[in-house]
């Protein structure tokens, strides 16, 4: 955790705890903290380093808290959405920002809303049937529509990550056989305009060279498709895919180096006149978030120690969803108002878990603990993306965490 923001969050937590103490409030501590200043700095750096022909759209699904979106709206080129709810959110609060609409399983209502919206620039088509339904809506509404076709194909440099979405059976995109059917269909339509393709084949990329090689393959395929299909395309969406190394919180994808090399590849592949769009989410907002929870109990069972905390994966599903032990720090809280002995653990290995009635409610495991007590606060970093927003909030119906947005 950044030492400056660590000090700021520690101070806020202690102030909140002192306020509770002064009001004899016995409720347990459970909060999200979002550092909007660091988010702003990070997003500015990301956009500033992009090659001239590239744009950055924020994947709203990563974190759709309004203060997060407002902070990012000043720098990103637009928003990527994947539902009617996300579309309406962006239209309501950011009426001047371009929108691209992706994701499998689009309903007719969602497609119709895209056609109606003046902000939606492109719809990313995921299947042949989706294309047929969109064309039918265009004819009924006497409208035209610009689209990308999302592909699910095998490429030479496609890595195998925890979240590979290309070259194997997934709900995302279409194979080359379906692509041929779509191209044939589009060639007979006057209302559907194909602008390019969408290639987001792998996520959680933490190696710059690996991702550069994959994107170079994207470029080669894009050019080959144009040549052999006699197509004029001007948009290539390369998705997001930049990962976070949760096992090593000090590691960070070298975006500046990546963009420098990417610029060279774009020039060498003669794609400077093609609009290349990224739609990152995790890499943009993960670093700004922190999930802080109070220790309720410390127990040993079957030779393992368990630190049980207020909250759990119903608030913070990231560790379970990504299959890792999440990085954390411990904030000691000295106040202990009870007459009974305060449980503690020193110099031991332990698992940090939540309150849920499932053994899967595990946030960190087999971690060395220097010293922790009931009443101390565990603070998980890297909690600003695919955290609160992907969690099953109503399981057991525990209270929701407080939200704190830090600015200035």
User: Alpha helices of 286-354 — where are they, by DSSP H?
Assistant: 318-322
Identify the CA nearest to 275 among candidates 247, 307, 301, 238: 238
Three-state secondary-structure class, residue 156: coil
Residue numbers annotated as active site:
357
Parallel, antiparallel, or unpaired: how do β-strands 362-373 and 344-353 relate? Answer: antiparallel
Greatest Cα pair distance in the chain: 80
Structure token pair of residue 4: 């400056």
The dihedrals phi and psi of 350, each to the nearest 5 degrees, come to -150, 165
User: E strands within 151-219?
Assistant: 192-198
Angle at CA 318, nearest 5°, toward 211 and 153? 35
Dihedral sign (CA 330, 331, 333, 338): negative
The dihedrals phi and psi of 283, each to the nearest 5 degrees, come to -65, -25
Q: Are residues 352 and 296 in contact, defined by beta-carbon separation less than 8 angstroms?
A: no
Parallel, antiparallel, or unpaired: how do β-strands 192-198 and 235-237 relate? Answer: parallel
Angle at CA 402, nearest 5°, toward 9 and 345? 60
Element (H, E) at 268: helix 255-268
End-to-end Cα, the chain, rounded Å: 18
């Amino acid at each position: 955790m950044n030492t400056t923001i660590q000090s700021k969050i520690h101070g806020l937590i202690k102030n909140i705890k002192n306020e509770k103490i002064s009001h004899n409030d016995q409720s347990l501590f459970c909060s999200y903290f979002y550092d909007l200043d660091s988010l702003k700095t990070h997003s500015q750096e990301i956009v500033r380093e992009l090659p001239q022909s590239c744009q950055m759209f924020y994947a709203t699904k990563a974190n759709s808290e309004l203060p997060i979106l407002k902070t990012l709206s000043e720098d990103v080129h637009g928003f990527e959405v994947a539902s009617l709810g996300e579309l309406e959110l962006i239209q309501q609060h950011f009426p001047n920002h371009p929108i691209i609409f992706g994701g499998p399983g689009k309903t007719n209502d969602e497609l119709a809303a895209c056609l109606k919206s003046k902000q939606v620039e492109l719809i990313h088509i995921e299947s042949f049937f989706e294309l047929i339904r969109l064309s039918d809506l265009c004819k009924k509404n006497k409208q035209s529509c610009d689209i990308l076709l999302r592909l699910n194909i095998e490429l030479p440099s496609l890595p195998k990550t925890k979240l590979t979405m290309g070259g194997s059976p997934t709900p995302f995109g279409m194979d080359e056989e379906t692509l041929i059917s779509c191209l044939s269909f589009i060639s007979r339509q006057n209302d559907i305009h194909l602008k390019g393709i969408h290639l987001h084949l792998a996520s959680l990329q933490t190696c710059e060279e690996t991702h550069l090689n994959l994107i170079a393959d994207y470029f080669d395929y894009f050019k080959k498709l144009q040549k052999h299909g006699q197509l004029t395309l001007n948009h290539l969406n390369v998705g997001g895919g930049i990962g976070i190394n949760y096992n090593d919180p000090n590691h960070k994808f070298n975006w500046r180096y990546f963009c420098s090399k990417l610029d060279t590849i774009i020039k060498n592949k003669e794609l400077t006149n093609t609009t290349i769009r990224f739609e990152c989410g995790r890499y943009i907002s993960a670093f700004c978030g922190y999930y802080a929870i109070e220790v309720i109990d410390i127990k040993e069972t079957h030779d393992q120690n368990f630190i049980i905390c207020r909250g759990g994966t119903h608030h913070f599903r990231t560790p379970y969803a990504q299959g890792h032990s999440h990085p954390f720090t411990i904030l000691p809280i000295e106040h202990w108002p009870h007459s009974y002995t305060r449980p503690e653990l020193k110099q031991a290995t332990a698992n940090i878990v939540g309150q849920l009635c499932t053994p899967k409610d595990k946030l960190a495991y087999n971690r060395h603990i220097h010293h922790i007590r009931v009443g101390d606060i565990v603070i998980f970093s890297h909690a600003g993306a695919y955290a609160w927003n992907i969690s099953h909030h109503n399981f057991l119906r525990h209270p929701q965490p407080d939200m704190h947005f830090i600015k200035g």
